[in-house]
Structure 1
Amino acid sequence: MEYSSALSNLQSRQQIDISQTYQSWRHLSEHYRASYAGGMGWKSIGGKDYLYRVTNRTGGGRSLGPRALATEDIYEKFHSGKLKTKARLKDLSASLAILAGGARAGKIARVPRLTANILRKLDEQNVLGRNLIVIGTNAAYAYEAAAGCLLDTGLTATTDCDLMWDARSTLRLAGPEMRNGGLLAVLQSVDKSFQTYNASAFCAVNSSGFMIDLVKATPIPPWKNERSKLSEQDAMTASEIVNLKSMLASPKFVATAIGEDGFPVPMVAPDPRAFAIYKLFLSSQSDRDPTKKDRDRRQAFAVTELIEKRLTHLPFDNKSQLIFPVEMRGLVDELRQPFIDGNGRDDLPDAFKIAP
């Protein structure tokens, strides 16, 4: 019996189209910010006109020289290029809006709206994948998108989003909101009701009870002095979690999912093999909440099924297991057994099935 169903031909086409259009929009948007952010104009100094490039919102910039054929040519090319790029971005945005409607109608719009908006904002601030990655239940949206499947909604439903911070990274290339106000400031730019509480500064909660948890791997050795905040101004302090090193050390898994609004969502998560093994490990911990343990186990096997059947370029080989502590490596056989043994498949619970 098959427990995974690929997207229909129409759904696959919709997902491919929206992903490709999004990548074109994203690359052009990055080019626009890099090449045309700010402005360019003439500034009169001492009776002479100078071409001036403004590079920030406070008017900072630099002179490109006095008015001459060369600077007039720079001026014309800048403004004509900016207009053309802006027009192209407008066309791509319109295309995305049309494709988003198709994604909603085709029932492939998956990532909850608030989560999607937060991830888009983190990507805009240039910290998604560089400083922060998505772990926990929401990572499953990256895996199903790459596998061309839809996981059972019972496995993906959640009222929180876990973000893992790589404390080795810096905010040098991050956007101004992240550098100046930290993660909480970015969250509040999406939903102003997000707040932290003294007892749990690693967690920000909005007025609807949706939580964002900031975690990081426990340093090695544990007494090593390591930063606990992304920026000095941040109200959020990362919670240290033991055994997260394997998630941090695993290759980053990049995919484009689709939000409930039908628009693309950039996703960066741990390698799905790391996710599956860590989830199965969590399900075996005696101090883990029993309800969470059961869900951890089901998620572990569901993602393993995606790996075994659709993400076959990610084998559970010896090399891939080297990032895990010795106590976790033995879980690989347990994870794979139902998919190696044909008879074992029929014994899998319905929750492991992938929705059509």
Structure 2
Amino acid sequence: MNAMKPFTDEQLRTLINLRQRYEGWIDAERRWAALPYDLRRKEVKGRAYLYEIFDRSGNGRSLGPWSDELEARFEAYRAAKEDIKTRREASRGPLDESARLAQALRIPMIASEAGPILREADRRGLLDGSLLVVGTNAIAAYALEANGFIRELPDETADFDLAWIESDTTRDEQVLWNMLKAVDPTFTVNTERTFQARNAKAYEVEVLVAPSRAGTMARTDRPRPVPLPEQEWLLNGKAVDQVLVCRDGSPVRIVAPDPRWFALQKIWMSEQAKRNPQKRGKDAKQGALLLDAIEIAMPHYPLDENFECGLPGELAPLYLRWAEQRPQRRAPGW
């Protein structure tokens, strides 16, 4: 049996529309998030001031006595806020329509619980250089990258793995923790596994990091990942960037590691004694099937001599073992 099943023309059209509409919506969401919560004109002891409001309780700070300059700032803020509000509302309907169609066409999906986390991370710009999706949820993104279904590939599990990949040192700011708490205030750090957060519904988010990136995370941020040397491999190559849907029909964006390095790391993990025995079989199958899919349907991720020469000693034998049984390369149309 062929390891791949190509998407239909209708599925491909839906994915193109989904991406375009998501990009319009997330741009409006980011612009909305960048605005102050509110600006208000206040009278204090008979004198007018412009206040920046921080929250629903009305907490804020004065920006100074009312003046022509502050009045112009106030009016510009109101106009911008109204414009962005209109764009947000206008973009949501078409996006939801494309997402529902993608769901109906059974295009590869991920667990619904991951959706709010990914959307909030994208709203905050964290998917553009700070975070990668490194667990099984990445598999759906790889299927979209291949423009087809990867047959028999094990599905996602009931947890969510993220890797911190920021290369620049962040301020002493709880970037991850603030993002998770914005999604669900019931998230708490697992005291026995401090790299893991868990919410009231027992949904788990694990954070991983390569030793070379561990120092860029703020000291007070949480969850606190344990640096793992094998995470360095996932920093190589070219990341996959795809928009897909959750099982509840909501849209999400996933940025995942180069599929070649992800696949080989999975095979490597399957042979480690420290790995949970219940996951090792799934790791081996995922890695091998993903390499097959790359060979068949992802020519832009070449499995060639140049790639082989760049592999470290731990991964080279695993790649060669797969290469001896590699599937015959298909034409671009399969």
C-alpha deviations, 1:188-226, integer Å up to 9, x for none? 443444333332211223444432222222459xxxxx6
Equivalent in the alignment of 1:275:
262
Q: Which runs of 4+ in 1 moved over 6 A?
A: 43-50, 71-74
User: Could you say if the C-alpha distance between residues 55 and 327 of structure 1 is closer, same or farther in structure 2, counting changes exceeding 3 Å?
Assistant: same
Q: Residue 194 of structure 1 contacts residue 207 of structure 1 at CA under 8 Å; is this kept in 2?
A: yes
Q: Residue 158 of structure 2 contacts residue 203 of structure 2 at CA under 8 Å; is this kept in 1?
A: yes
The percent identity for this pair of structures is 25
Q: Residue 246 of structure 1 contacts residue 323 of structure 1 at CA under 8 Å; is this kept in 2?
A: no
Equivalent in the alignment of 1:5:
5
User: Could you say if the C-alpha distance between residues 256 and 170 of structure 1 is closer, same or farther in structure 2, counting changes exceeding 3 Å?
Assistant: farther
Equivalent in the alignment of 1:16:
16
Provide the C-alpha distance between the structure 2 equivalents of 1:105 and 1:42, rounded to a whole number of angstroms: 49
Provide the C-alpha distance between the structure 2 equivalents of 1:13 and 1:107, rounded to a whole number of angstroms: 14
Provide the C-alpha distance between the structure 2 equivalents of 1:53 and 1:193, rounded to a whole number of angstroms: 32
Equivalent in the alignment of 1:350:
none
Equivalent in the alignment of 1:309:
296
Equivalent in the alignment of 2:229:
242
Post-superposition shift, 1:4? 0.7
What TM-score do you get using the length of structure 1 for normalisation?
0.76
User: Could you say if the C-alpha distance between residues 264 and 66 of structure 1 is closer, same or farther in structure 2, counting changes exceeding 3 Å?
Assistant: same
Aligned length: 327
Q: Say what the alpha-carbon RMSD is for the aligned residues.
A: 3.5
Equivalent in the alignment of 1:223:
none
Structure 2: any 5+ residue segments left out of the alignment?
none
Post-superposition shift, 1:21? 0.3
C-alpha deviations, 1:169-191, integer Å up to 9, x for none? 4344xxxxx934x5355434434
SS in 2 for 1:199: coil
User: Could you say if the C-alpha distance between residues 166 and 101 of structure 1 is closer, same or farther in structure 2, counting changes exceeding 3 Å?
Assistant: closer
Post-superposition shift, 1:114? 0.7
SS in 2 for 1:133: strand
Provide the C-alpha distance between the structure 2 equivalents of 1:183 and 1:76, rounded to a whole number of angstroms: 34
User: Could you say if the C-alpha distance between residues 218 and 40 of structure 1 is closer, same or farther in structure 2, counting changes exceeding 3 Å?
Assistant: closer
SS in 1 for 2:240: strand
Equivalent in the alignment of 1:149:
148
SS in 2 for 1:126: coil
1:98 matches 2:97 = yes
Equivalent in the alignment of 1:166:
165
C-alpha deviations, 1:86-108, integer Å up to 9, x for none? 21220111222222322222222
SS in 2 for 1:200: coil
Amino acid at match of 1:100: A
Q: Residue 99 of structure 1 contacts residue 262 of structure 1 at CA under 8 Å; is this kept in 2?
A: no
Provide the C-alpha distance between the structure 2 equivalents of 1:78 and 1:218, rounded to a whole number of angstroms: 43
Equivalent in the alignment of 1:108:
107
SS in 1 for 2:247: coil
Structure 1: any 5+ residue segments left out of the alignment?
173-177, 221-225, 346-356
Q: Residue 142 of structure 1 contacts residue 257 of structure 1 at CA under 8 Å; is this kept in 2?
A: yes
Provide the C-alpha distance between the structure 2 equivalents of 1:161 and 1:91, rounded to a whole number of angstroms: 31
User: Could you say if the C-alpha distance between residues 64 and 139 of structure 1 is closer, same or farther in structure 2, counting changes exceeding 3 Å?
Assistant: farther
Equivalent in the alignment of 1:194:
187
Post-superposition shift, 1:321? 4.8
C-alpha deviations, 1:46-82, integer Å up to 9, x for none? 99978x58485553475699427xx776655543343
Post-superposition shift, 1:254? 1.9
Equivalent in the alignment of 2:284:
297
User: Could you say if the C-alpha distance between residues 201 and 322 of structure 1 is closer, same or farther in structure 2, counting changes exceeding 3 Å?
Assistant: farther
Equivalent in the alignment of 1:332:
319
Post-superposition shift, 1:150? 3.1
Q: Residue 142 of structure 1 contacts residue 255 of structure 1 at CA under 8 Å; is this kept in 2?
A: yes
Q: Residue 256 of structure 1 contacts residue 264 of structure 1 at CA under 8 Å; is this kept in 2?
A: yes
Post-superposition shift, 1:316? 2.1
Amino acid at match of 2:268: F
C-alpha deviations, 1:8-54, integer Å up to 9, x for none? 222222222111100111223333444x444556677999978x584
Q: Residue 167 of structure 1 contacts residue 216 of structure 1 at CA under 8 Å; is this kept in 2?
A: no
SS in 1 for 2:86: helix
Amino acid at match of 1:166: I
Amino acid at match of 1:117: P
Equivalent in the alignment of 1:348:
none
Equivalent in the alignment of 2:68:
67
Amino acid at match of 1:279: K
In terms of mean alpha carbon deviation, does 115-124 or 271-280 score higher? 115-124
What TM-score do you get using the length of structure 2 for normalisation?
0.81
User: Could you say if the C-alpha distance between residues 209 and 65 of structure 1 is closer, same or farther in structure 2, counting changes exceeding 3 Å?
Assistant: closer
Equivalent in the alignment of 1:117:
116
Post-superposition shift, 1:246? 1.3
Provide the C-alpha distance between the structure 2 equivalents of 1:53 and 1:308, rounded to a whole number of angstroms: 59
Amino acid at match of 1:265: V
User: Could you say if the C-alpha distance between residues 283 and 262 of structure 1 is closer, same or farther in structure 2, counting changes exceeding 3 Å?
Assistant: same
